[in-house]
């Protein structure tokens, strides 16, 4: 018997066949040649394991394989996924999904030219740093505001502007890593400031700060919100208002790295008290730094709020140019901030807030509907209560009670099903818990429920 690998068609023969003409109209010839070559290589490998059965029966079958390969290669590297993990601010999945108005504003800013740095009244050069400032002032009571690329940049810019070459007091309990390599001691030294540790890991008192400020050239106090972990037991930390009194007395800047950027009322979201910029500023912080894409629910950005003289110095700092924010981001941030002018609108329109505030009854109902729709593909699926988290390095230790659909796949393992779901054109990301696939609907937009149901059915068919 001859080796079937010897009888495989050549690339030229395939491309000349009628079955390939449509593909050649849709894709550049060079890419089709490459894909056809790779398809032949794949077929050779398959024949080695499965024999004759792996040989396509005709040219149409070859064309289908080549087209499948081309369409996989056409998928963008960065693409939308369905987040069924129940982690609302999933850093790996792009943190905050954006409101409809924010998405429209961003598309608009990208579509053409804008007055990004152009003063329309005077017809001359303007500043990109005027955008969003009035809204931020109104919403937080800050006297001035500056938007940069992210909160990490805001912290470096703030420290560099307030304390380069000088010492900065930080509690030992706040020398933290916020994830993604953001370590306070490293950021501080890169900013040109000198770290002076104060107190102990679990307890720091005002007197510790005062004592440390008595020697050396101290320029500022940095307070860091422990946004992604909690310490409990025998602990003590100094409130921002007490630090403000001390900073005032000693003539130091007080910089509060808050991170989360919560503007809404935490009670309405079912969250425990979370420090907010408005309170830090009222308590007397010189400047506060927050993220745009955590609990604020907007695009990735860093926002500095505070004293006009200090914020003005940051705006003039050459580093600000390196950290500058993009027009598309500014457009999305402005539209997001506008929602907050009406707190009810913010809860309704900003997906992060809407997901956090989603009533349990609604989640339960959606879980039951999905469970029924999956009855055929996964007969053993069940609806169960579950626990989600806020995520994104915010609200550590806060559980979000939720409703889930749980699947124990019969033919394969939960991990194999999870992989199958990730390989769909619109990938679905889920949790695996106790050998079950867990689907948490809190983080799925209700409009996507039908897409989620068909993705799951598709995955089980592909896995068979």
Ligand X SMILES: *Cc1c(COP(=O)(O)O)cnc(C)c1O
Residue 152 binds ligand X (CB under 6 A): yes
Q: Which residue, 86 or 393, has its beta carbon nearer to ligand X?
A: 393
Q: Which residue, 109 or 277, has its beta carbon nearer to ligand X?
A: 277
- Residues of span 204-233 touching ligand X by CB under 6 A: 224-225, 227
Element (H, E) at 417: helix 414-422
CB 336 within 8 A of CB 102: yes
- CA atoms in the 13 A half-sphere facing the CB of 441: 29
Q: DSSP string spanning 235-290?
A: -B---HHHHHHHHHHHT-EEEEEEES---S-GGGGTPPP---HHHHHHHT-SEEEE
Q: Which residue, 259 or 306, has its beta carbon nearer to ligand X?
A: 259
Residue 302 binds ligand X (CB under 6 A): yes
Residue 158 binds ligand X (CB under 6 A): no
Q: Which residue, 152 or 347, has its beta carbon nearer to ligand X?
A: 152
CA distance 326 to 84: 30
Q: Which residue, 260 or 402, has its beta carbon nearer to ligand X?
A: 260
Let me know the angle formed at the C-alpha of 214 by 209 and 220, rounded to the nearest 5 degrees. Answer: 55
Residue 39 binds ligand X (CB under 6 A): no
Other beta carbons within 10 angstroms of residue 118's beta carbon come to 14
CA distance 148 to 142: 16
CB 337 within 8 A of CB 136: yes
DSSP 138: H
Q: Cβ of residue 373: shortest distance to ligand X, in angstroms?
A: 37
Residue 237 binds ligand X (CB under 6 A): no
Contacting residue, 83, 151, 171, 352, with ligand X by CB under 6 A: 151
- Residues of span 240-299 touching ligand X by CB under 6 A: 257, 259-260, 291
Q: Cβ of residue 196: shortest distance to ligand X, in angstroms?
A: 19
Q: Which residue, 193 or 441, has its beta carbon nearer to ligand X?
A: 193
Q: How many residues bind ligand X (CB under 6 A)?
A: 15
- Residues of span 384-413 touching ligand X by CB under 6 A: 393
Which residue ranges make up the site for ligand X (CB under 6 A)? 150-152, 155, 178, 182, 224-225, 227, 257, 259-260, 291, 302, 393
């Amino acid at each position: 018997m001859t080796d079937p690998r010897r009888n495989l068609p050549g690339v030229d023969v395939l491309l000349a066949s009628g079955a390939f003409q449509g593909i050649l109209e849709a894709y550049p010839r060079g890419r089709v040649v490459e894909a056809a070559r790779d398809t032949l290589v794949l077929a050779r490998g398959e024949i080695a394991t499965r024999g004759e059965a792996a040989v396509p029966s005709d040219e149409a079958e070859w064309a289908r394989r080549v087209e499948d390969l081309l369409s996989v290669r056409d998928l963008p590297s960065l693409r939308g996924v369905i987040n069924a993990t129940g982690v609302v601010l999933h850093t790996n999945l792009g943190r905050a999904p954006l409101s409809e108005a924010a998405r429209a504003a961003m598309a608009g800013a990208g579509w053409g030219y804008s007055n990004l740095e152009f003063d329309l009244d005077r017809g001359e050069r303007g500043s990109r740093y005027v955008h969003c400032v009035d809204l931020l002032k109104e919403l937080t009571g800050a006297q001035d505001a500056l938007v940069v690329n992210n909160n990490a940049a805001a912290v470096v810019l703030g420290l560099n502007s307030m304390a380069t070459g000088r010492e900065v007091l930080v509690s030992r309990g706040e020398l933290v890593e916020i994830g993604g390599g953001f370590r306070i001691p490293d950021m501080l030294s890169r900013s040109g400031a000198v770290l002076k540790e104060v107190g102990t890991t679990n307890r720091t008192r005002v007197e510790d700060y005062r004592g440390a400020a008595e020697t050396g050239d101290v320029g500022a106090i940095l307070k860091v919100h422990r946004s992604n972990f909690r310490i409990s037991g025998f602990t003590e930390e100094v409130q921002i208002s007490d630090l403000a009194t001390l900073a005032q007395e000693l003539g130091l800047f007080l910089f509060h790295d808050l991170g989360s950027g919560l503007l809404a009322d935490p009670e309405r979201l079912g969250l425990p008290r979370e420090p907010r910029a408005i309170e830090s500023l009222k308590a007397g912080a010189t400047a506060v730094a927050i993220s745009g894409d955590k609990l604020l629910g907007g695009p990735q950005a860093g926002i500095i709020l505070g004293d006009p003289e200090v914020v003005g110095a940051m705006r003039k700092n050459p580093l600000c140019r390196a950290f500058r924010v993009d027009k598309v981001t500014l457009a999305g941030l402005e539209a997001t901030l506008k929602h907050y002018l009406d707190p009810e609108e913010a809860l309704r329109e900003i997906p992060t807030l809407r997901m956090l505030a989603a009533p349990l009854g609604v989640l339960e109902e959606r879980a039951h509907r999905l469970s029924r729709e999956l009855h055929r593909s996964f007969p053993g699926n069940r609806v169960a209560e579950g626990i989600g988290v806020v995520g994104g390095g915010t609200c550590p230790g806060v559980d979000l009670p939720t409703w889930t659909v749980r699947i124990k796949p019969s033919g394969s393992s939960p991990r194999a099903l999870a992989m199958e779901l990730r390989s769909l054109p619109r990938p679905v990301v889920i949790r695996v818990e106790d050998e079950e696939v867990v689907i948490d609907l809190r983080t799925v937009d209700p409009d996507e429920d039908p897409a989620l149901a068909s993705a799951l059915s598709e995955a089980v068919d592909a896995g068979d």
